[in-house]
Structure 1
């Protein structure tokens, strides 16, 4: 069995690869920027954790010590200027550190590109370059080149799903006619795990794809059919550039424009496998690779059962703040605006906690839904994530989960939920919801904290204070009412026998 390092373990693929490697009997070390992001994952107690950024040479070298197979699952999505140089620098440093540490193999998941012709998008070009860096390094490397990955929670799949479900008729740009070879996430994971046990002399790239070659328009129609929806009316138009298309996708789907853009740009060119040589090393399963319709069916089943292990939003949002909540003593005398609210609740602590842990997504924010939607729309207009990310699970949360334009920074089950804002703000913001028993009563506590950046940050707080008072002022009352309803539902109903017993007593 191999000793494996998984980078990007908080991301969509990495978070699913780790338990698969463990199930196959491998030892796993996860390289993450913050160990706390792994704390609540079901497999966290079975892995080693190394805190390191791929741009930190010393920490990366330490993370790679004693490793046989290193999985490189890092790629900038939605990055701003200079992301190509950042990707290049990180890959070169990782390859050098892996060689110095005596790593037997690097495994990289890249993108499927046309063999000749067609100008690559900046993101696809960067992914191709990273693959070449590993293939030219002193460590044997396997580069798996995949097109669209179909699975519950993937950005590509959510983009497809929401476009299909929300638009019975759509005008679409030319890229819907590009041919692509999608692959089920289960097959991607099967390939990745297999390379932990294959001899070291293999050093090359492989195209990987499912059995179907389809246009995006055909995928929309197949998705509609599997989901039991009527045939969609698709009217191609030649005028929507990738930039305009990404904003259109951002309006219709939960995927924000800055992440939708590289996905859309990757669809401009055909993405069809030119070979299937990987089968000589990782044979196809007896039942064959998973087809597109089956992959969609499996993904929709996971979504219906609220069994989505990871989502595209599991990874940190580019440009989002990562600073922890400042403690009050450290900020004494500084600029830290705080809005505190409390309210007694006519319900058991368990009922109140169910409301707190279930906040956001389809359950909403218990205060002026229209105002929250407007705030989300403004954030998306400013290039932020808005409210449409929703939740990974409708009932349970863990550190690192995204909830609309918040991310779970801390959760103490039954007591505290702290959310860090990932909306576009001139400062840093947190929302803290907690519950406690005081003098025999259940009490709900709420605290909003804002640390401004510069004069604009102060102006933002003062100008938005009336809005905050309205929003945050209503939340405690509505949360308390929801908790009381939860408590009433959980109390057993009394029947006529209970009534007669009380009368006899």
Structure 2
């Protein structure tokens, strides 16, 4: 089936396109800038066409020959987003009708309950787009989802940052409104399944996970899944949606322009009122994903072996939970990084010998007293300290202990990656690279990465930051100097 995916550079579209390809569909992506998909691995198997839904003359080529068109765009975060979304949906509907598209699939928001006279602008806009598409003359399936649980989802990122950074908080009353979140993998399951709906189906469906929770419940359960202490949450009347959005913007990196309409939508109850979608698209074989499992999947992709908090891999059934390169910079959780680079007047082979000799009797090439003190403190805290040393003074193997580190990856002559095993309020890695630079020279690249756990983790990073110039800066400088001093020099005539 030939599918058009709009919003392929966004959160859902970027995850749906590779899944459609894996299912054997032909995928065409409409993007305002094709270059944004240039480095995405699956893009080479899809057709990418530049176009803008607000410029109708750019659309006919994108819709030509398309059987199923996915509408996965929104203008949230822009001034006047309601008018922009109205225009884009109207143009999309007209282009789909003119091209003879057989099915439109749209992922919208929950239908506001009658507890409020005026829905939030965000939900109002989503409902208006749904009406435009349902009235387009093209059979349309509208999937109404509340909070989507997956790394990169704006709602999930708000939940992540608020819970991780605040052990206690004063919150607005809406934290006790009922919400029925859904895992991103289940959203994608239904989106793909809707491509095969019979032509007489032209309606909206509620989609949701098995757990109906309050936002407060979600914060407490997120804390439990991630091993954080129970959060102290005190709802008060004073925080209006507007004040709440500024509070969210202060605590989290989610831009206020996005946080505000999302917060305003949370004043509505958001639970599923029917599950009719299962009559046409059966639930996943292993059932819908519960909240705790969805959180675990969303966080599991920050894998020890990768260090990075954002990457793109295969399109298997577990892939959609992970961050993608096209996700916003503020998504994916916090990763603190200390990066050092040095030009080395010695070949990469000489530099690598110094790198592989790190630790044990050779030490860590900077401020020995500081490393010793850190080792003693770690032992006092019940950690391994520096007493383990190293197995061999010249060679390392993946999996072996190295002082209070563990060798996680080695690419001989190029890369050494160590995972910290000292007591820390988070997870940490130290990566050292030797890169050839030509003319008998090389470049040393050193990167320390810390993923904080809770507020204590953020405070820890801030407390040690002043010492990084001495510890990590001295380490980079002395490793480079050691390579230059030990490199063989050509015989002088």
> Match for residue 66 of structure 1?
65
Alignment of 1:26-37 (within 5 A): 26-37=25-36
Distance 1:91 1:349 in 2: 56
Preserved contact between residue 152 and residue 303 of structure 1 (Cα < 8 Å): no
Deviations along 1:137-183, one digit per CA (max 9) or x if unpaired, are 11111100000000122111111111111111110001101111000
> Match for residue 209 of structure 1?
208
> Match for residue 221 of structure 2?
222
Distance 1:486 1:276 in 2: 62
Distance 1:442 1:246 in 2: 49
**Rg larger in 1 or in 2?**
2
Deviations along 1:92-148, one digit per CA (max 9) or x if unpaired, are 011001100000111110001224341211111111100110001111111000000
> Match for residue 407 of structure 2?
none
Matched, 1:233 2:245: no
The alignment's TM-score, normalised by the length of structure 1, stands at 0.64
Residues 346 and 261 of structure 1: is their aligned pair in 2 closer, same or farther, counting only changes over 3 Å? farther
Distance 2:174 2:440 in 1: 62
Instruction: Provide the alpha-carbon RMSD of the alignment.
Output: 3.4
Residues 28 and 133 of structure 1: is their aligned pair in 2 closer, same or farther, counting only changes over 3 Å? same
> Match for residue 84 of structure 1?
82
> Match for residue 167 of structure 1?
166
Distance 1:488 1:195 in 2: 62
Alignment of 1:55-454 (within 5 A): 55-80=54-79, 82-118=80-116, 119-305=118-304, 306=309, 309=312, 311=323, 314=326, 344-346=343-345, 437=437, 439-442=439-442
Deviations along 1:225-246, one digit per CA (max 9) or x if unpaired, are 1111111111111111222211
Distance 2:280 2:480 in 1: 57
Matched position secondary structure for 1:196: helix
Residues 286 and 76 of structure 1: is their aligned pair in 2 closer, same or farther, counting only changes over 3 Å? same
Matched position secondary structure for 1:192: helix
Matched position secondary structure for 1:30: strand
Residue 199 of structure 1: how far off its partner (Å): 2.2
Distance 1:487 1:343 in 2: 7
Residue 208 of structure 1: how far off its partner (Å): 0.5
Preserved contact between residue 181 and residue 212 of structure 2 (Cα < 8 Å): yes
> Match for residue 452 of structure 1?
none
Deviates more, 1:239-248 or 1:70-79: 239-248
Distance 1:487 1:204 in 2: 65
Deviations along 1:64-95, one digit per CA (max 9) or x if unpaired, are 11100000101012111x22111101110110
Q: How many residues align?
A: 356
Residue 253 of structure 1: how far off its partner (Å): 1.5
> Match for residue 40 of structure 1?
39
Preserved contact between residue 5 and residue 72 of structure 2 (Cα < 8 Å): yes
Distance 1:181 1:161 in 2: 17
Preserved contact between residue 4 and residue 28 of structure 2 (Cα < 8 Å): yes
Distance 2:134 2:250 in 1: 39
Preserved contact between residue 170 and residue 235 of structure 1 (Cα < 8 Å): yes
Distance 1:313 1:264 in 2: 26
Matched position secondary structure for 1:195: helix
The alignment's TM-score, normalised by the length of structure 2, stands at 0.66
Distance 1:488 1:344 in 2: 10
Residues 114 and 347 of structure 1: is their aligned pair in 2 closer, same or farther, counting only changes over 3 Å? farther
Distance 2:476 2:188 in 1: 41
Residues 234 and 210 of structure 1: is their aligned pair in 2 closer, same or farther, counting only changes over 3 Å? same
Preserved contact between residue 245 and residue 260 of structure 2 (Cα < 8 Å): yes
Residues 175 and 314 of structure 1: is their aligned pair in 2 closer, same or farther, counting only changes over 3 Å? farther
Preserved contact between residue 40 and residue 325 of structure 2 (Cα < 8 Å): no
Residue 56 of structure 1: how far off its partner (Å): 1.4
Distance 1:480 1:347 in 2: 19
Deviations along 1:17-69, one digit per CA (max 9) or x if unpaired, are 01110111100000001111111111011000110011111211210111000
Matched, 1:50 2:82: no
Residue 308 of structure 1: how far off its partner (Å): 5.5
Residue 307 of structure 1: how far off its partner (Å): 6.3
Residues 139 and 155 of structure 1: is their aligned pair in 2 closer, same or farther, counting only changes over 3 Å? same
Residues 73 and 273 of structure 1: is their aligned pair in 2 closer, same or farther, counting only changes over 3 Å? same
Residues 114 and 124 of structure 1: is their aligned pair in 2 closer, same or farther, counting only changes over 3 Å? closer
> Match for residue 3 of structure 1?
2
Distance 1:204 1:487 in 2: 65
Unaligned runs of 5+ in 1: 318-341, 353-413, 415-434, 445-477, 495-505
Distance 2:134 2:34 in 1: 30
Residue 481 of structure 1: how far off its partner (Å): 7.5
Distance 2:109 2:209 in 1: 14
